[in-house]
Structure formats: structure tokens, C-alpha cells
Structure 1
């Protein structure tokens, strides 16, 4: 599928969310409630539905997970080295870490479905199960100098994360060999079908372009690093691990995604530079529509 056409429904839904929020078409209370519904019910249903049916090839998947972990840790170590070299303050360093290793699950899963079908969505769901705990722990560690004692709280939060729980239950059900009753299967499909459109509209509602002006140069450099540099690094690391072509493509798409909107919430919680985080989230999401087709053309 042409990359522009693949991205069109995603960009359109994100744009809808931005317009709805700025014009007040939907009441302010809608956004918090819709995000809560999606986070605790709809998106977990989507993950469980995908993982309960995926054919797990543990040998090839293990190499995929190893490559994923190596890339996340490699990026984190480079950023930590830059932190000490340039004496980057903690309240900004946590922003930079999140901007390079966290990912927008709604955009990712939507894109996987459009590009690779059910197989791509299932692969992405298994990647999420590994990536979410790791990136959350690394993100919190990047704020630890100003938030001592919070790591234990975050580990508990990761264990309670509904997305992680859905992934683990989905894999467990898959391994059990049980057959899901048709009624429950259809219910999960109905719930799952609502998740991605609602999630993408919420992504658009969270964009804050007014925050770009104060640090535009720094935000632009950060966005280019994430949307171009990190995926190219991923491509070569994945090649080095000898991954299958589909696994390489899925991993590159994963690391080409803009950072998660939830990064803003974590940054505020740890008293980081939330204005900078909002600017980075907004610019990365905007530039993704341009960088992604070019990146796919370059690498594949």
C-alpha cells in the first residue's frame, strides 16, 4: 500500500481530535473519560484479542525481543553519556529520554494493521508486552535525582498496567490451547474495533503547538533524531541480529513512531519540563506524517 494512503486515515483522525478539542465541539470532560475507557477497557481488549490468537515462534521472537531491548538500552546509554558531558539538568533529561524511547501505541497498532494486516498487529502486541515495562523503568530512572523513592511505585504501576495485564493474559490463553467461546470472541472484537479510532482522536486532542516557540530549535533536533536517526539505527541493529524481513520492518516501524502522549503526564508527575515535553510530542506527531513515508522509501 502507498505510504501516503496508509497514513491518511491516521492523520485524518488525529486532525479530527485536534479540531474537536480546539473548537470545543466536545465538552472538556469527554477527553478524560474517553482516555480512561480506552486505557482500561477497549485497548486491553484489542491486545488480548490479538495475542490470544497469534502463532508464537519462540525462537525467532526471542531474537526480536533481544534486538528490541538492545536498541532501547543503547539509546538510553548514549543519552546518559550526553547528559554527563553537557550537564543536562534532570528536569530536561527525563524529557529527552522519553522522547527517544517511548512510543505512541495507538498510531503504532493502527499502522501495523494497515501495513502488515493481522500478523503485524499481533507482532506489535507482543513487542508492547516487552517494551512497556522497560521504557517505563528507564523513563523513571531518568528523573530519579528529583524523585527519590519513586522507582518502587513505578514498578508497582507497571505490574498493574492494564496493557501489560492484557498482554500476559492473552499470551497465557494462547499457550493454554483453550478455545474461546464465539460470543466472547465477538464481544472482544467489537470492543477492540472502537479502540484505535478513539485513541487516534485523543492523540490529536492532546497536541499543544503553542508550546513550540520557546525551544523550537532544540525540539526540531530532538524530533529529527527520533523520527530519522533512531529508525536507521534500528534497521542496522536488526540486520546485525539476522532478523526475518518482516521482523526488521515491524521493529523499524516501532522505533519510527512519535513518542507517547502519556510522556507528558509522567513528566508533570516528576516535575520535569512539561512545556518542553508537550512541544516535543506535538512536533514529533506532526512531522511523523512526513518522515515516515520517506523513511520507508529509504530503507525498504
Structure 2
């Protein structure tokens, strides 16, 4: 428990710092959108690219890891479809609820993975992200557009425009072709990657909207409990079923225990979803994750 606390508290300290800095308008209100774009389009893709470019893709447990990650997402998706059938949620609401259950805060996930499992854990996480990021994006777009219809072409275009997906694909391509990262390229990517996670956590804090917590408390609460407690429990069952090694199991459970991604709000607004509900879910899950992550990872240990 003490080791987990020591590994996780600096991450949430950065999130709190980001919120305080934004509230105090330091360095300025205009800084945070630019910082988020820099991280999303440059720094974070550099981290994923370098991790996958040097990852051991001949890992014998890679196939089981991929199967476990996708199985967990499919189970969550089926449960959401069943719930929607009974609750009759419109697409605007269903899209926000879906993202609250299936999406995850990648910045926090990689930072926590690095603190708990080191470089080996980061490599495993990058491999998982190569599968999970496209999958959750497709499901999120479909959920928000289910009443309007969404064509395979528009889904494909949205995937091709996603810098995280492009970085994962490019890193895997460099790996399998044996090109590697010569001539100081690895050092450059490592420097960019080192800046990504702390800046990302500061941006997570800056995106929090506590003023939205008074809106639909019931929906936000059950959605947060399902994401932060039920999803990691299901992830553990799946990991055991696939007989994953301990580190792979830990990383899988961790990613299913993460709060939803702050970028869910942007996608929700772009596609006409319930932005107010989405903002409340993001804020509540991020706040509760400070305790739930410690609880889940302690039980796992």
C-alpha cells in the first residue's frame, strides 16, 4: 500500500497543480489549449512511437494480451447496448455514458504504468494502446452518431486523423521493418516523450470542471462506479481467463481502472452529445480515481 501511494500521489499532485494554475490564470487562460494541442499532436505521439518502435513484438504473451484487452472492451460495449435497450437513451446521452465507461485517461495511465512497472510496463501499455485507442474511438463515434448514422468512410477518416493511432502504426512499422531509431533519433524521441506525461497531467487538471458536478449526480455516480470499480474487476477476470503474466495483468487492470479521457468532452461537443453530462463525468471520475486506483491496485497486489 505504501509503495503504491508513493508511486501514485505525484501523479495526482500534478493534476491538482494543473487545476490550481488554471484557476489562477497562470501563465494565462490561452496557455492551456495550446499546451494540450502540443501534447496531443507532438509530445504524446512521440512517446507512443518510440515505445512501439523498440517494443519486443515477439513477446509470446502478446496475442493473449491483445485478446484480453479487446475482450474486455467488447464485454463493456455489449453491457452498454443492453442497458440502452432498457433505458432508451438518446444518442447524445448514450455517447457520453459510453465514453464514461469505455474511454480512459491515457496520460494518467502511462504515467501510472511507468511509476508502477517501469520501462517494461510502458512497452506493454504502448502495445495495448495500439489496439484499444482505435477501438474505443470507433465505439465512441458510433455511440454519439447512432441516430444519425455513421459511414465506414467517415470512421476511417477519423482514425487516420488521430495522431495517437498514426504514431502507434508508425512505431509498429519501424519495429517490424527493422529500421530502428538510429543517428540520435531515439534520444530526440526520448526527450519529447519525457515532456509529455507531466504536461499531460497538468492539462488533465486544467480541464476539470467542478461547477458541472451538480448536474445529474445519479447518472454521474453510477457511471463513475462502473468505470472505476466494475471495469477493473471485469478486466481482472478476463486477464486470469487469458492466463496473462503478472505485469500484463497489472497493466490491463490498471487501464480498465482509469478515469475517462478529458478529450471525451471535445468529441462529445463536436458530435452534438450531452457536453454538460460528459464534463461532470470526467471531473467526478478524475477526482474519485485518486482513491479508487489505490484501492484497485492494492487489491491486485
TM range (shorter): over 0.9
The 1:261–1:214 alpha-carbon spacing in structure 2 relative to 1, beyond 3 Å, is same
Q: Aligned equivalents of 2:177 and 2:171: distance in 1? A: 10
Q: Aligned equivalents of 2:64 and 2:131: distance in 1? A: 13
Which residue of the partner structure matches residue 102 of structure 2?
Answer: 101
Which residue of the partner structure matches residue 190 of structure 1?
Answer: 191
Which residue of the partner structure matches residue 181 of structure 2?
Answer: 180
Secondary structure in 2 aligned to 1:24? coil
2:215 touches 2:280 (CA, 8 Å); kept in 1? no
Which residue of the partner structure matches residue 148 of structure 1?
Answer: 149
1:2-151 mapped onto 2 (5 Å cutoff)? 2-149=3-150
Q: Aligned equivalents of 1:166 and 1:91: distance in 2? A: 30
Which residue of the partner structure matches residue 260 of structure 2?
Answer: 259
1:192-231 mapped onto 2 (5 Å cutoff)? 192-231=193-232
Which residue of the partner structure matches residue 291 of structure 1?
Answer: 292
TM-score for the superposition, normalised by structure 1? 0.96
1:140 touches 1:151 (CA, 8 Å); kept in 2? no
TM-score for the superposition, normalised by structure 2? 0.96
Q: Aligned equivalents of 1:265 and 1:147: distance in 2? A: 19
Judge which range, 113-122 or 147-156, deviates more. 147-156
1:17 touches 1:203 (CA, 8 Å); kept in 2? yes
User: Considering only aligned residues, what root-mean-square deviation do their CA atoms show, in Å?
Assistant: 1.4
Secondary structure in 1 aligned to 2:216? helix
Shift of 1:169: 1.5
The 1:221–1:179 alpha-carbon spacing in structure 2 relative to 1, beyond 3 Å, is closer
Secondary structure in 1 aligned to 2:61? helix
2:215 touches 2:276 (CA, 8 Å); kept in 1? no
Shift of 1:274: 0.6
Secondary structure in 2 aligned to 1:207? coil
CA-to-partner distance for each residue in 1:264-290, whole Å, 9 max, x for gaps?
A: 011111211111100000010011010
2:236 touches 2:253 (CA, 8 Å); kept in 1? yes
Stretches of structure 1 that go unaligned for 5 or more consecutive residues are none
CA-to-partner distance for each residue in 1:137-173, whole Å, 9 max, x for gaps?
A: 1111112234334653232121232111111121221
Matched residue pairs, number? 300
Stretches of structure 2 that go unaligned for 5 or more consecutive residues are none
1:144 touches 1:150 (CA, 8 Å); kept in 2? no
Note if 1:170 corresponds to 2:171: yes
Secondary structure in 2 aligned to 1:25? coil
Which residue of the partner structure matches residue 269 of structure 1?
Answer: 270
Shift of 1:31: 1.1
Which residue of the partner structure matches residue 247 of structure 1?
Answer: 248
2:213 touches 2:280 (CA, 8 Å); kept in 1? yes
Secondary structure in 2 aligned to 1:214? coil
Which residue of the partner structure matches residue 233 of structure 1?
Answer: 234
CA-to-partner distance for each residue in 1:160-211, whole Å, 9 max, x for gaps?
A: 3211111112122122223422422211111111111111000000000111
Shift of 1:44: 1.1
CA-to-partner distance for each residue in 1:210-258, whole Å, 9 max, x for gaps?
A: 1111211221111111101110011011101111121111100010000
Which residue of the partner structure matches residue 280 of structure 1?
Answer: 281
